[in-house]
Structures are given as structure tokens and as C-alpha cells.
Chains A and B, each alone.
Chain A
């Protein structure tokens, strides 16, 4: 993987505030297609660091390489047009329609009209706002969440390889924020941009970042992936900032498939009750998971059910809600475990095929590792 963005000993001292360094010899590399969240307490220099990339703020010393080129040597206007920019206050242009807002950078770059309108439509579709309904509306006619989606779409309009986002979901209520975050990650899955994402919210940083860059008083404290940050905090400051519940936070990060047992006690629906009973005592468990020919989940059977009169397992199977996608977070998995009295949940894949089981013990084992 190639390095897309590189900070090298970047320092910023604001004129008139010479006694302190807003950003202090910041050095890190960001690979192509990764999201790097810049996080830290308020005033630690996140915004400053970010704005030096597109030179809205000039650096005092150091070097920023964008795709291997020194940003300082590039034409400012060209540089900015090649970097997507999304800010906290959204900053949509109230005098322009949604379509015009999204088309800003393509227009500045002189794309032809047909290409622009195609792009606008596909971007609106991408952020889940029907084009024909929203294109000709004005920003004031949209809700905060919708506006922020337009802000993201606008940032991506000219297909910039790099995007800068300064607390993009900061002004949105928690429920909508969660929704936008998920939506954004889904989009990122497809477009794979290199993104610098500023936030003061450690949860958001952990959720959104492939890499987390934790700053304090302008200095880099730790630059790592979220898992590392949670398991191996560099010092007490990081430990504190991440919070006492960092183990629980890891639940958010880890997936069911990381922890589950991959040899579930399966039984085909067409097997006889006799076989099922045999299997039950052989495996020494309380439940068997019933699947169809293709391995898809049908339900469970327990000794009581097997005691009923019948011929085939299919006749006594009990449907169950205790299942979860293997790609879901461990937090959701744990929540499922607690909400059913089965003692475990069944992990399934996209096609509802049973791929494993998850118990509290499995989770504990993983977290201790």
C-alpha cells in the first residue's frame, strides 16, 4: 500500500501567539484508502493540522507530502480543488441549489455540463437523497442531516483522492450521527478515499478510523489502529482519554466472527429424532441447531422437544430469534446473548447460513488474548 499523505515534522506557531506551538513537529504517514481520525481534547491542534494540508493555514516549519509531492510547492488553488473538503458547519452555499452546490468543484475545474449533471445525480443517489426531488431545492429547505449529506457529496464531487473532514457530524443529533457514520462507512467501502477525519469524540474516532492520531497540546501522543490504541495505550493520558470502558469499546470494534466457535452443533431438519438424540448426548450440549439442506438456519431443538412424538427433526423444531450476522459487532452479539435465554447466539452469514455460535465465554477469551 502506498503512502498518500505524509506529515514530516510539521509545526505551526500562530503569529501573535508565539509562546506555544499549536501543532508541534507532527509526523505520521497515511496509506492510500485509509481513514485517519485526528482526535484529542479541544484546542489540541486537530483543525490546525488538518487545514495545513490544503493550506488554509500555512505551516511554520516541516513538510506535508500529498501523494509524494510537497504540498507547499503546489499551486494553492489546484491543490484545494484536488482535495475534498467537508467542514463542521457544513458551509453549503445558501444562494445555490443543491445541484449547484455539489457541482462547485467540477465547475471550477471546467468539467462539461453533461458530465457534471451525471456526477451530481450519482452522488445524490450515493448519499440516499433522490436526485429529482432534491436537485433543485435550496440548502435552507433541508434538515441538518440532509445538509451534511450534501456536504459530504460536495466534498466528493470531483473524485478527489484525499478528503478532509472537520467534525463533519459534530452538529448532528446522536441518532442521526450514528446513521450518517454508518452510511459514510458504507460509501467509503466502495470509494476507498484517503480521509483525514477530525473529531473530538473518541468513540467516533474509534468507529471511523483505520488509524487514529491522538494529539495533545499539538503533539502526537499515539498513532495506531483502533485496536492497538485500546489494548496498548501509550501512556496514562491515552488511557484516560480513551476512558475506563475501553474494553467495552473494543466490543464495538471487534466482530462476532472474531470470537465465535466455528463448529456449531448442527442437525439437518430431515434427520430422524433418534439421530438427533444421539448427537445431543454425544456432544454433551443442551441444544442442537437445526438447518436445512443448504445449511440455512431453521431453529433449535432441545431434549424436551426431542421427547415429543414424531419422526423427523423438522416436526419438532423451535424457531429462534437468537441469531446474528457474523459481521456484526461483538457489542451487538453480547446484547443478543443477554436478550435470549439460550445461553448463546447463532452466527449466520449473509445467506442465513449458520457459521458458528457465540457465548459469553468466547467473548471473554478474545478480549483477554
Chain B
């Protein structure tokens, strides 16, 4: 180990210590060096923390809340919370906003510190799970009384014990310590939410509990985590999507957080219609999934077939390009009379002219182009010498297809499926107009009743669905890509 000399007591110390082991004086050169090698993401997070801290003292809320004309800072409001002479709802929101700031600062610091271990540790998913679960804590507290508090207390006690044991044994912070710190974080959130739940239940019984701070707070914490994870490894496409969703979520969180009177809004709408959102989402997913199964099982064989028949290739690619230009409303419109006619001749009560059947057929039709085209291109693009080698060694056509062409084309075919899925999720929204249900209902009903929140909630949930589908399919693509193709040199 390198040896340095402490500038204040002139004794020898290890070069990397930040504090002199004899006189405890800080060793500035070491500290400075540590800052200069700081990763830029940490710097950004620190910067964000500073911004939040400034915002805490910055007057920006209309003073009318306090019957004063000057704008007030969050800090100021927190200080004068006892003097508030305002409506219940408003004071609740001020409380929410004001308390959020110090907690956020605390969180940011902690996350900065934990960033590296978050990337590698298995505790990240656990952490997310706990945060999500803790969003429901206010309700649970109301139902179960102190049970959860005791459970958390036990976890905490075990954690602290393990922490000290570990630190004493190894002399440094290992994964266990990070776990403990994570638990601390969760516990802080838990306490805060419990406190809030109590205050909500005791003081403001008129409030619907789903609109409590817990929901907003959960959004924010998840957002922060996403931003941090995304920033720390912006190499993969999924991370880009994470970042985008993080930014969207942050904006929503920001709006909630900045405007203390923002009681309604898309997320309040979500919270209030939790089970309906779930139900509509399931319908939406189901429609798209069935359409995709149909589309893949028709489009891939067609795509393969047309690689062997140039005339058919021209016709098929032309037709599918036409289909994709038909506006979805028009396609649904076409389908209804056709299917109804079939219906009348076949089974008058099935009612397939309207609802999911035409929707699924339309989605499957729209999905043909991306999948057929990608299959066609992918198989055409397989290196001819690979195919010739296969042929020359005595592979049959079918063996060529199964052992060479399909595996080599798989990534591109999957990219086509991805496009088709994302497109279908969007088009399925229109299907609400022909009674197919799904998340489009929020939009159509919202438009009819001029409820903006409903429209925005529908739009946002579909975007999230699309992003999630994209991530999942990206993984599937990765999984289907032969290992030998992933090697870069």
C-alpha cells in the first residue's frame, strides 16, 4: 500500500484514507481526487438534489392559500402550518408538498450513495416490490392496525443486527449493508405513509384514501429509480425506454408535486378507477395478443413462401401496403356489414359483426405488412454462400429453412412482430368505438363526457403498455437471436 503524510500531524497514513488515522484531520487532496473521478451521473444527481433544495426555499406558491399576497416557499408553509386558516383539502395538499421536499432530498442522497449497488444487487427488484407494496400501506394500516408496523420493526431489527455484524467482520460496507440501507429507506417511506394515512384518516375523513400521498410518492420513487438506472447504463434500448418513461412519469410527478392544489388529474383518475383500469388493460392485451398469434401464424409462412416466388412477392407486398393505408375506422366500418352478413346466415345470436371479432381481424390484417415484409427481407438477406454451403452438403429445403434461414432471420422477423404489436396497441384504441372494449374506452368515454383526465389516463396507460410490450419483445428478440450472431468483432 502507498504511504502518504498527514499535512496536519505529519504522521504516515495510507494514501487513500480521507481522514488522518491519527489526528482525524481531513486529507483534502484525497477528497478532491475522489470528486474529480466522480461519475458524471452522480454529479447530475447531486445537481438535481441542489435544485430540489433550492426549490424548497424558493417562494413560488400563490400566497392566497395563506391569505397573504406574497408567494410563499415550501419551507415557509411548513413553518406556518399551524396558522393555516384554509380548507381541509388545501391544507392537506400543502402538507403533502411541504413534507415531500426534505424527504426527496434525503432520498436523492441515499440513491446516489446506493447507485452502484443498485446496478448489480438482487435487492433492486426487492426494493421496487417493497415500494409498490408500501403504496398500499395506508389502506393496510387502516385494516390491520399496527401489525405491519411490528413486521417492519422486526425486519429492521434483524437488519441492523446483521449490518453491525457484517461491518465488524469485514470492516467495510458489503452487499448486506446496502440491503440494510435499502431497508432503512423503505422503512422511512413506510413511516411517512403511515403517518400520512393516520393524518388523512383522522383529520380529513372526507378524502378518498386512494388519493393519498402514498400513490404520488410511489410514482416519484419509482421514477427516480428508473432515471438513475437508465442513466447509469444508457447502452441498451430498453434503458432508453426506461429513461423516456421515467421522464414522463417525473413530469407527472412534478406537476403533482409543484401544484399543491392538483387534487384531480389522470393519476387520481387511475387511483379512483383502479380495477377498471386493470380490466380494460386485460381486454386490450387479450385483443392484441390474439390478433398477433393469428398474424404471426399467417404472415411468417406467407413471408417465407414469397421468397420463392417473385411474382407472388410483388402482389403480396403491394396488397399488404394497401391494407395498412386504410384508416382503422374505415376498416372497422367495412368489417361490420361483412361479418354481420355471415352472422345472419350462420348464427344470428353470436353478434360477431360488432365487438372483438372485427377488431381482432382488423389488427391481424394491419400486422401482416410489418411481419411479412420483415420475414421476406430477412430470409432474402441470409448470406447466399451460407445457403449454398447448406445445399451443397445435402440439406433438404425444409432443413435449410429450419436450421439456417429461420434462425438467421429470427431477429429481423421479431423486429417486425415488435412493430406490429406496438402498432396494434395503438390501433386497438379505436376498436372501442365498435364495442371491443379495451383502454380505448377511457378515451372514447372521456371524449364523450369531456373528461380530460379519462382521456389522458387512457392515453398514458396505452403508452405504458406499448413501452412494456416493447421491452418484453426486445427480450424475446434477444432470446431468439442465435448466440453466434450476437458476437461482434
- Determine if B484 and A138 form an interchain contact, defined as CB atoms under 8 angstroms apart: yes
Contact check, A95 vs B485: say whether CB atoms are below 8 A apart.
yes
Contact with A along B390-407 (1 / 0, CB 8 A): 111111100100011001
The answer for the CA separation of A89 and B384 in the assembled complex, in Å, is 10
Q: Is A78 an interface residue (CB 8 A)?
A: yes
Verify A94–B388 contact, CB threshold 8 A: no
Cβ–Cβ contact A104 & B393, under 8 A: yes
B482 and A94 contacting across the interface, CB-CB below 8 Å: yes
- CB B219 to nearest CB in A, in angstroms, measures 43
Option from A77, A104, A140 in Cβ contact (under 8 Å) with B396:
A77
Partner-contacting stretch, out of A29-37, A80-88, A317-325, A343-351: A80-88
Residues of A within 8 A of B386 (CB): 91-94
Known: A87-B385, A91-B385, A97-B484. A108 touches B394 (CB 8 A): yes
Is A56 engaged at the interface, CB distance under 8 Å to the other chain? yes
Interface presence of A139 (CB below 8 A): yes
The yes or no answer to A187 lying at the interface (CB within 8 A) is: no
> How far, in angstroms, from A77 to B388 measured CA to CA in the complex?
13
Contact A90 B485 (CB under 8 A): no
Contacts of B399 in A (CB 8 A): 108
Of B393, B396, B403, B487, most A-chain CB atoms within 10 Å: B393
A105 within 8 A of B: yes
Chain B interface size, as a band, is 20 to 34
Residues on B with C-beta less than 8 A from A234 are none
Contact A105 B394 (CB under 8 A): yes
User: Are the C-beta atoms of A56 and B484 separated by less than 8 Å?
Assistant: no
A125: chain B residues at CB < 8 Å are none
Counting CB contacts under 8 A, is A367 at the interface? no
- Count A-side interface residues using an 8 Å CB cutoff: 31
A56, chain B: closest CB distance, angstroms = 6
B389 within 8 A of partner (CB): yes
Majority secondary structure of chain B interface residues (helix, strand, loop or mixed): helix
Known: A94-B482, A95-B407. A85 touches B393 (CB 8 A): yes
Contact in complex: B392, A87 (CB < 8 Å): yes
List, in ascending order, chain B residues with CB within 8 A of A138's CB. 483-484, 487
Contact of B489 among A81, A90, A140 (CB under 8 A): A140
Asked if A56 and B407 make an inter-chain contact with CB atoms under 8 angstroms apart, the answer reads no
Question: Contact partner of A56 among B388, B396, B403, B404, CB < 8 A?
Answer: B388
Tell me if B408 counts as interface (CB < 8 A to partner A): yes
| B residues in contact with A88, CB < 8 Å | 385
User: Does A54 touch B at the CB level, under 8 Å?
Assistant: yes
Q: Which of A58-80 contact B (CB under 8 A)?
A: 76-80
Report Cα–Cα, A138/B489, bound state, in Å. Answer: 12
Contact A91 B489 (CB under 8 A): no
A141 CB within 8 Å of chain B: yes
Cα of A140 to Cα of B484 in the assembled complex, Å: 7
Selected from A95, A96, A108, the residue in CB contact (under 8 A) with B395 is A108
Chain B neighbourhood of A77, CB < 8 A: 394, 396
B393 lies within 8 A of A108 (CB): yes
Query: CA separation between A76 and B403, bound complex, in Å?
Result: 19
Note all chain A residues with C-beta closer than 8 A to B485. Answer: 94-95, 140
Q: Which residues of B sit under 8 angstroms from A79, Cβ to Cβ?
A: 394
Q: Is A141 in contact with B487, judged by CB distance below 8 angstroms?
A: yes
Interface positions, chain A 276-335, Cβ under 8 Å from B, are none
Point out the residue from A80, A90, A140 that lies within 8 Å of B393, measured CB to CB: A80
> Which of B390, B396, B408: most chain A Cβ within 10 A?
B390
B294 to chain A, nearest CB (A): 28
Q: Are B484 and A78 in contact (CB under 8 A)?
A: no
Q: Determine whether the beta carbon of B388 is less than 8 Å from that of A91.
A: yes
Determine the distance from Cα of A77 to Cα of B484 in the docked complex, in whole angstroms. 27
Is there an interface contact between B487 and A80, defined as CB atoms closer than 8 Å?
A: no
Selected from B389, B403, B408, B487, the residue in CB contact (under 8 A) with A85 is: B389
User: In the complex, which residues of chain B have a beta carbon less than 8 angstroms from the beta carbon of A82?
Assistant: 394
Q: Give Cα A81 to B393, complex, Å.
A: 5
- Contact indicator A95/B404 (Cβ below 8 Å): yes
Q: Which of chain B's residues has its CB closest to A91's CB?
A: B389
Q: How far is the CB of B204 from chain A (nearest CB, A)?
A: 63
Contact of B392 among A80, A93, A94, A96 (CB under 8 A): A80
Are B390 and A93 neighbours in the complex by a CB distance under 8 Å? yes
Of A85, A93, A97, A140, the residue contacting B404 (CB under 8 A) is A93
Residue from A105, A108, A154 whose CB has the most chain B CB atoms within 10 Å: A108
Scoring A90, A95, A139 by chain B CB atoms within 10 A of each residue's CB, the highest score goes to A95
Report the nearest A residue to B385, measured CB to CB: A89
A1 to B298, CA, bound (A): 57
What are 15 A-B pairs with beta-carbon distances under 8 A? A80-B391, A82-B394, A87-B389, A91-B383, A93-B389, A93-B403, A93-B404, A95-B485, A96-B403, A104-B393, A108-B394, A108-B395, A138-B487, A140-B487, A141-B489
Interface, chain A (partner B; CB < 8 A): 51, 54, 56, 76-82, 85, 87-97, 104-105, 108, 138-141, 154, 164
